[in-house]
Structure 1
Amino acid sequence: MKRIVVGTRKSPLALTQTEMVMAKLQEHHTGLEIGMEKIVTKGDRILDVTLSKVGGKGLFIKEIEQAMYEKKIDFAVHSLKDMPTEMPEGLMLAAITEREDPRDVVITRNGSTFADLPIGARVGTSSLRRAAQLLNARPDIEIVSVRGNINTRIAKLEELQLDAIVLAAAGLERMGWAEKISERLSTELCIPAVGQGALAIQCRSEDEEIREILSVLDDVNTRRTVTAERTVLGRLNGGCQIPIGAFAELEGGELKLTGIVGSADGLTLLKETATGTDPMALGHAVAERLIEKGAGEILAKVREEISQ
């Protein structure tokens, strides 16, 4: 069997995720050789500015996609939550892996829960989505911008004397660090990022042999739920740096989808839930309801604040 090459970011989590994908592919395809190309993205280079200020969609994937166009790599492994809702021409999502725990978690210095943090607690996150929801629940807390890979952010807990940091459960689990989690935040309190917990396997649309090799990684149920979520994001014209969250789960044969849009200060938080069987129709319905409630105005204001 031929040798193929996968592209990935250089962060410890990205490398771990890519190695997991490589191992799964080799389980299914005996004798498959896979090389790895480590690529530095714009999002990795600029660490002294909050993600929302860096701007643009696809901060962690553009350079990897370029390597695919130039045929330096055959496919790429991304965190689905980093992926814009529209694919560039000539590229496609060949597979979306089975989702791990999609929730956000808090790591606190003394192991306490989010509700038990002291008044005025300093909470580290670079995500406007997390900030909006946490401030809505606890207006007394102070949000401190924290960037970098998981190791860096955990270290900032002590360095910056923070009371807590907020991360994705899936990343910590993949790194084998689940024991560091103080609390998994319920989706009632904090709706996750679109696609959080799933990996996106991207390749060139024309490359049928690669598509066939990668197809074994595709999880039908995860694809349905994240399609509903990504439809909300696409309709609201949001990137991963805007305070939008969406979370879908299967209940029987039906999908239950909740979408949120918040102001960066947490004072306004719009939330809509609906059920249905067609992921795209459901995503559109939830997005339209959010728009009717004023989501467009909130997001326009956030974008204006970011650009200043």
Structure 2
Amino acid sequence: MLICDLVAQLPGSQTVLPINVITALTSALAIGYKAGKGKSKVIAGPLNLELHAGQLVCLLGPNGCGKSTLLRTISGLQQPLKGEIIVEGGALNKLKPAQVAKKISLVLTDNVRAGNLDVYSLISLGRYPYSGWLGILTEHDKQIIEQAIKATDTEAFIGRKMDSLSDGECQKVMLARAMAQDTPLIILDEPTAHLDLPSRIQLMRLLHQLAKETNKAILLSTHELDLALQVADQIWLMSSGGQLDAGLPEELVLNGAFQHAFEKDGIVFDAASGTFNIHYAGKRGIKVTGEGVAAFWTKKALVRNGFSIASAATHPLNVSISGEGADTLWTVQR
């Protein structure tokens, strides 16, 4: 039994199963760029991927592996070298730009800092594919804009100018514009790149919530591995060699895909904690006995100071931890 099968059988599970609506898919897709004289450079492929309604998919991988190229190709900004992309049953390359704008909304890394543009006006631009070149908003358009504002929690600064917003506020406005565009697929390229830690957490949590509440497929590239492991329904993990592994975050951790994708000298992915160990293995072994928060952070401190945590049942040097909070007791046995 796979983890997704187990979770899906539990009462109240929010797991989106493969039998749900497929918003977009790729078939034998090869991505890359033209190298001149009729030649091309393939970065990754063939790729057979699926994006399901109601799912948040995080695209992870080291720099230069082709994440941005994949996003540009799926969004229609770049032509695939081979294969095809299907969005809601139709081939992407056969759609006109106006039709693509009703299928896919895109949020890029760069923030919009137009001094004379207020927040409401920018969000309203999401209705351009429907309002025509005159940009006249109907009552239906205004209703969708209000829903997008409410869903992204941008009411507080709706009357402000874009250049007065913080990076986090600006990113939420760009997301609201994408929501107002009302497409089944939303693609974001490193939306947390310029944000501080609290804003990164808030945005990732918001994206996960929006996928569930609006039943849209959301695909984003990110370097926030720890956050992706917590909020992603699916992870697409790209390696430098062009390989792409897709699956539940927990399954990619258990099968070793994370360790393989980010493997470098002195950097080891710890499957037990979902983090990377940046310290070299210490030469001095020590046994840590105990559970809970104090034991976890004691191990961290010991590893940072040149120890390696022994797994043997007995060891000449042992630290046992008992109690909690102010009553925590560390006992060292030699």
Common topology (TM > 0.5): no
TM-score (norm 1): 0.23
TM-score (norm 2): 0.22
User: Comparing both chains, which one has the higher relative contact order based on Cα–Cα distances under 8 Å and sequence gaps of 6 or more?
Assistant: 1
